[in-house]
A = this chain, B = another copy of it.
Amino acid sequence: MDNQPEMKPYVIGLDLGGTNSVFGIVDSRGEIKATTAIKTQGYASVADYVKASCTALEVIIDQVGGIDNIKAMGIGAPNANYYKGTIEHAPNLTWAHDTEVPLAQMFSDRIGIPVAITNDANAAAIGEMTYGVARGMKNFIMLTLGTGVGSGIVLNGQVVYGSDGFAGELGHVIMCREHGRTCGCGRKGCLETYCSATGVARTAREMLQTTEEPSLLRELKPEEITSLDVSIAAGRGDILAKRVYEFTGKMLGEACADFAAFASPEAFIFFGGLTKAGSLLMDPIRRGYEESVMPVFKGKAMFLISSLEGASAAVLGASGIGWEL
């Protein structure tokens, strides 16, 4: 056979964050063979950013035996459009502010391998499918619970990008149609306003204000309470703090019940800071789900925490895109 594919053992992953850009060279089992990083900001143009990236990359590419060993590169970044290979109007990136940057093509032109880009939550889903708890799954939904609520949806083994590349914004389904909390997206009642880390802190502040319940959280200044404080208090048995997680988990479970009506996934996988609360959060999610899901879906879906938590998760996620190219 002439056209037997070359077996290139590695892919590059780039976790492009607001502060740092972290690169990793990864093998098919999710082992990071070499890593480097540069600052994301401080470049006059995107061309300068790509140039600095490639200078840093050269070193670690040499460490794994050169570019011939590398199949492709994946980038996880805010406001990324998979179809176009661009970053669009990213408010936190000086060189991609108010414009469309063809980042995938620019990297590809310089390094000479295929490059694709997607948003952080889709990258997390791909990482989970490639190296994590979603290995072998064809239908699952990843929910990232951080400052906001992001999502990556995989159906029929493929990430759902929709008609424009922006599908999978499950943090912005409406959970409260009346008197909902104001969301950063300009609307009211979005899931994200309740079930993100900031939503949890907001719920705690509301409960402290509207009840007389004694709580360890009353020792803190209300405006300084974080989801971590709530989690620590709940771990110490604080009733109000536990109630915050009950409320948050129940709403996430109800949202997942609606997502099941859409996609009937095999699993819901949770990623990000809030999952550190463990069963404090996961038990109410499961209960809220089973109580509110359609009978035909009851007892079918798994509720899992990402197995790629930690500093390297985002790089692994981004690298996972590389295998699909």
Task: Give the distance in Å from the alpha carbon of A265 to the alpha carbon of B121 in the complex.
Answer: 19
- Which secondary structure dominates chain A's binding surface? loop
Contact assessment for A170 and B261 in the assembled complex, using a CB-CB cutoff below 8 Å: yes
Q: Report the minimum CB–CB distance from A122 to chain B (whole Å).
A: 12
Say yes or no for A295: interface residue by CB 8 A criterion. Answer: yes
Closest to A291 in B: B187
Q: When each residue 128-162 of chain A gets 1 if its CB lies under 8 Å from chain B and 0 otherwise, what string results?
A: 00000000001100000000000001011010111
Question: Given contacts A174-B292, A254-B174, are A261 and B300 in contact (CB under 8 A)?
Answer: no
Say yes or no for A65: interface residue by CB 8 A criterion. Answer: no
Pick the residue among B153, B185, B258, B265 that contacts A295 (CB under 8 A): B185
Contact assessment for B155 and A186 in the assembled complex, using a CB-CB cutoff below 8 Å: no
Question: Given contacts A162-B155, A164-B300, are A177 and B265 in contact (CB under 8 A)?
Answer: no
Contact assessment for B160 and A156 in the assembled complex, using a CB-CB cutoff below 8 Å: yes
Question: Given contacts A163-B266, A187-B294, A300-B164, are A261 and B156 in contact (CB under 8 A)?
Answer: no
Residues from 160 to 178 in A contacting B, C-beta threshold 8 Å: 160-170, 172-177
Contact assessment for B139 and A263 in the assembled complex, using a CB-CB cutoff below 8 Å: no
**Considering residues A164, A170, A301, which has the most beta carbons from chain B within 10 angstroms of its beta carbon?**
A164
The count of chain A contact residues (Cβ–Cβ below 8 Å) is 43
Pick the residue among B158, B160, B174, B263 that contacts A258 (CB under 8 A): B174
Contact assessment for A162 and B295 in the assembled complex, using a CB-CB cutoff below 8 Å: no
Residues from 279 to 310 in A contacting B, C-beta threshold 8 Å: 292, 294-297, 300-301
Pick the residue among B138, B158, B176, B300 that contacts A156 (CB under 8 A): B158
- Which residues of chain B have C-beta atoms less than 8 A from A266's C-beta? 163
- Which residues of chain B have C-beta atoms less than 8 A from A295's C-beta? 185-186
Say yes or no for A264: interface residue by CB 8 A criterion. Answer: yes
Say yes or no for A257: interface residue by CB 8 A criterion. Answer: yes
Closest to A262 in B: B262
Q: When each residue 64-85 of chain A gets 1 if its CB lies under 8 Å from chain B and 0 otherwise, what string results?
A: 0000000000000000000000
A contact residues vs B (CB 8 Å cutoff) = 138-139, 153, 155-156, 158, 160-170, 172-177, 185-187, 254, 257-259, 261-266, 292, 294-297, 300-301
